Structure 1
Amino acid sequence: MAKMNFNDYGRAMAKYNIWQNGVLYELCEQIGDAERRRDRGMFFGSIHATLNHLLYIDHRILGILKTGQAEPFDARTIMADDFETLRKMRVETDAAIAEFVDSSDHGWQDDIRELMGLDGVTRKLPRQLFLMQLFNHQTHHRSQITSELHKMGLDYGITDVPLTPDLPL
């Protein structure tokens, strides 16, 4: 591959996201429900709550990408209370992200959106920035979870983007 454009970026990161979330959920399954729900002093308390938060924000950002709009933010939103439902929704959401970035309609990339942040400031932002935020947000919170898994003696393994299996480039 000689060059990489924004569409290539989206496809590569969607593939990376699927890979990393698969690894994460496999390890989280191994520790059991009590350990996933234990308050570990993380920003969202538990691994389970952090997984919920990731899924919720992905749905919000995917809405912005698809429609230019976001539902009102509610930090208390619970996407799924049980791990199996949460895992199923994660797989479905990752597939929806991959489908979105693989779409042949890239007109959304030319769009500028006004969005009021949690800080109360309204900004005019390119929708492309939201795709970057989706993947950055995932990495940020996955690292919080992997830190906790490491403390339990679980090796998370490789997280390098260039080593993503079967990159679609």
Structure 2
Amino acid sequence: MARMTFDDYGCAMAKYNTWQNNVLYDLCDQIGDEERRRDRGMFFKSINATLNHLVHIDRRILSIMKTGNAPVYDAHTQVADDFDELRQIRRDLDAEIEAFVASDDRDWQDGYRKFTGVDGITRTLPRPLFLVQFFNHQTHHRSQITSELHKMGIDYGITDVPLTPDLGL
């Protein structure tokens, strides 16, 4: 059996990400717009705002990986006000992520990017580190939403990476 490579990691996590986002959006669809928009005291206040934040940041990080550059950061960007529109954007973005990590173009893995974090410190970081941050950030904010769903009595279900359907490893 071959070792798992960084490319395998990217592909596995992209599949996991798609699976978990599908589960998340299915459950968020069930609670309705009022519950998604309710201020729950979360970092971004509502489930809706958190879903928007995830799409905005995923686009930024994907751009860093693809080009070394990122669109302007605004933590409170609302990508789409309509849930169905946001869900379609999420699906398209997840497909784009899967295609990117599965592509034969690995030149981006040799690059570096100057990056100023929310702490105001500018660092020069290897672009592959952003792939790790990409999936870590998604998991972090999905867990905030799943915590709120749990408080509403909704069982989110399985989140174990090795149980990702059609993992293909």
- The TM-score with structure 1 as length reference comes to 0.98
Q: Deviations over 1:70-105 (max 9, x none)?
A: 122112311000100000000000001001000001
CA contact (8 A) 2:17 2:135 kept: yes
Match of 1:53 in 2: 53
Q: Where in structure 2 are there 5+ consecutive unaligned residues? A: none
Q: Deviations over 1:1-41 (max 9, x none)?
A: 43100000000000000000000000000000000000000
RMSD in angstroms over aligned alpha carbons?
0.8
Match of 1:102 in 2: 102
User: CA separation in 1, counterparts of 2:19 and 2:52?
Assistant: 18
In the alignment, does 2:21 pair up with 1:10? no
Match of 1:168 in 2: 168
User: CA separation in 1, counterparts of 2:88 and 2:31?
Assistant: 18
Q: Deviations over 1:53-79 (max 9, x none)?
A: 000000000110110011221123110
User: CA separation in 2, counterparts of 1:76 and 1:154?
Assistant: 26
User: CA separation in 1, counterparts of 2:123 and 2:8?
Assistant: 26
Match of 1:81 in 2: 81
SS in 2 for 1:115: strand
User: CA separation in 1, counterparts of 2:131 and 2:144?
Assistant: 21
CA contact (8 A) 1:11 1:168 kept: no
The residue identity in structure 2 corresponding to 1:11 is C
Q: Could you tell me how far 1:52 is from its partner in structure 2?
A: 0.3
User: CA separation in 2, counterparts of 1:72 and 1:154?
Assistant: 35
- The TM-score with structure 2 as length reference comes to 0.98
User: CA separation in 2, counterparts of 1:84 and 1:19?
Assistant: 18
Q: More deviation in 69-78 or 29-38?
A: 69-78
User: CA separation in 2, counterparts of 1:76 and 1:150?
Assistant: 24
Identity %: 70
